[in-house]
């Protein structure tokens, strides 16, 4: 597979679905509400109201769902916006990416019931709308940023997190918990290494519980991955923006797909999702509205695999020849 097509991702994915294309997992970060003007007709993110933005995202992710395998998953990174009654408009810029300092920006609109400078709540608005549209909503993962975008605010805390939602197409879905396990804490190793562990009775549970006393249990080497991921943002010198961090994408790909599976990103941007997919033995499939990202994608993808790996070039998925 290993293709990136330029144009409106909704039209592209509808065509893919008609040809029976199926990806195992989708890892993506769509344009946030009211952040940037990408300078393209039909771009997403500059809708007049949060409700219009959410409706556009629901339509988009219907297209994603049609391309996903029946047991496929969607890993959706989305940040929030603050309302601005008449201040800043969206920033303009040719190579403006889905920069992950965007949660601190203001969305210019007059919203029903949302007051000036108030947090809009876009992530949960979108998550609930996707659930209402048929997606299964399984988890909200907190992306904790140790190096957040500075904010000149004095009436609230600096925003240092974003959401990563795990959704699935069906009730039963593929998830490899073993692939994303974490090392256990030193205290856990000590607790489980007690020589008298097997002799301990354990403490009593709350009244009414019938499954015995609580005992020290668990693996001495690994634990199930927690739902708060501390990952620093990474500036890209070539693109002049803060890109989708590879460390944020890796666990999504490892948990959501098998080696050889196709990883989809309808907002491929600089190609980070494609590069990480290749590094972990997966294939990639992506869309991008801005053709100026092409050289950057090719450079990033080329660095992801050895030169002698005969990497297929990006292009038209259904080109003849």
State pLDDT tens for residues 24-33.
999 999 998 8
Report the pLDDT value the prediction gives residue 153, as an integer from 0 to 100: 86
* pTM metric for this prediction: 0.81
Number of domains making up the chain: 2
Lowest mean pLDDT among 24-28, 93-97, 194-198: 93-97
Q: Considering the domain boundaries, does residue 86 fall inside one?
A: yes
Q: Stretch 145-152: mean pLDDT, rounded?
A: 88
Q: Which domain holds residue 34?
A: 3-181+225-309
Asked whether residue 148 falls in the same domain as residue 199, the answer is no
Report the pLDDT value the prediction gives residue 238, as an integer from 0 to 100: 55
Q: Considering the domain boundaries, does residue 9 fall inside one?
A: yes
Asked whether residue 71 falls in the same domain as residue 122, the answer is yes
| C-alpha distances out from residue 114 to 50, 56, 58, 87, 192, Å | 10, 20, 21, 15, 51
Asked whether residue 85 falls in the same domain as residue 120, the answer is yes
Q: Stretch 75-100: mean pLDDT, rounded?
A: 58
Q: Is 221 helix (H, G, I), strand (E, B) or coil?
A: coil
- Percent of the chain residues past pLDDT 70, beyond the cut: 71
Asked whether residue 193 falls in the same domain as residue 109, the answer is no
Asked whether residue 110 falls in the same domain as residue 211, the answer is no
Q: Considering the domain boundaries, does residue 60 fall inside one?
A: yes
Q: Where are the alpha helices (DSSP H) in the chain?
A: 9-18, 50-67, 122-132, 186-192, 246-256, 272-279, 294-304
| C-alpha distances out from residue 256 to 72, 124, 267, Å | 7, 22, 18
Asked whether residue 49 falls in the same domain as residue 197, the answer is no
pLDDT band at residue 64, thresholds of 50, 70 and 90?
very high
State pLDDT tens for residues 100-141.
333 334 455 555 678 888 899 999 999 999 999 999 999 999
Asked whether residue 22 falls in the same domain as residue 169, the answer is yes
Inform me whether the pLDDT recorded for 214 exceeds 90: no
Asked whether residue 237 falls in the same domain as residue 107, the answer is yes
Inform me whether the pLDDT recorded for 206 exceeds 90: no
Asked whether residue 22 falls in the same domain as residue 170, the answer is yes
Asked whether residue 162 falls in the same domain as residue 188, the answer is no
Q: Considering the domain boundaries, does residue 314 fall inside one?
A: no
- Domain's final residue, options 191, 223, 255: 223
Inform me whether the pLDDT recorded for 175 exceeds 60: yes
């Amino acid at each position: 597979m290993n293709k990136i097509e330029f144009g409106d991702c909704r039209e592209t994915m509808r065509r893919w679905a008609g040809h029976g294309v199926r990806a195992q997992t989708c890892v993506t970060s769509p344009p946030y509400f009211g952040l940037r003007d990408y300078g393209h007709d039909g771009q997403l993110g500059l809708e007049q109201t949060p409700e219009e933005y959410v409706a556009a995202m629901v339509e988009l992710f219907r297209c994603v769902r049609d391309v996903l395998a029946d047991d496929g998953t969607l890993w959706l990174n989305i940040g929030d916006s603050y309302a601005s009654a008449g201040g800043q408009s969206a920033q303009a810029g040719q190579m403006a990416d889905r920069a992950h300092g965007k949660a601190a920006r203001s969305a210019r609109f007059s919203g029903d019931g949302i007051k000036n400078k108030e947090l809009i709540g876009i992530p949960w608005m979108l998550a609930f709308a996707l659930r209402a549209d048929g997606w299964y909503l399984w988890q909200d993962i907190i992306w904790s940023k140790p190096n957040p975008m500075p904010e000149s605010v004095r009436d609230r805390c600096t925003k240092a997190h974003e959401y990563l939602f795990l959704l699935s197409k069906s009730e039963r879905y593929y998830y490899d918990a073993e692939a994303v396990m974490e090392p256990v804490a030193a205290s856990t190793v000590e607790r489980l290494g007690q020589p008298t562990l097997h002799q301990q009775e354990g403490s009593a549970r709350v009244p009414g519980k019938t499954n015995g006393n609580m005992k020290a249990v668990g693996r001495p080497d690994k634990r199930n991955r927690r739902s708060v991921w501390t990952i620093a943002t990474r500036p890209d010198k070539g693109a002049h923006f803060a890109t989708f961090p590879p460390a944020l994408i890796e666990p999504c790909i490892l948990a959501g797909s098998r080696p050889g599976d196709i990883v989809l990103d309808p907002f491929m941007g600089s190609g980070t999702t494609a590069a990480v997919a290749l590094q972990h033995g997966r294939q990639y499939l992506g869309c991008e509205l801005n053709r100026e990202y092409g050289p950057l994608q090719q450079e990033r993808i080329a660095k992801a695999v050895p030169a002698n790996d005969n990497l297929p070039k990006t292009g038209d998925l259904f080109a003849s020849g």
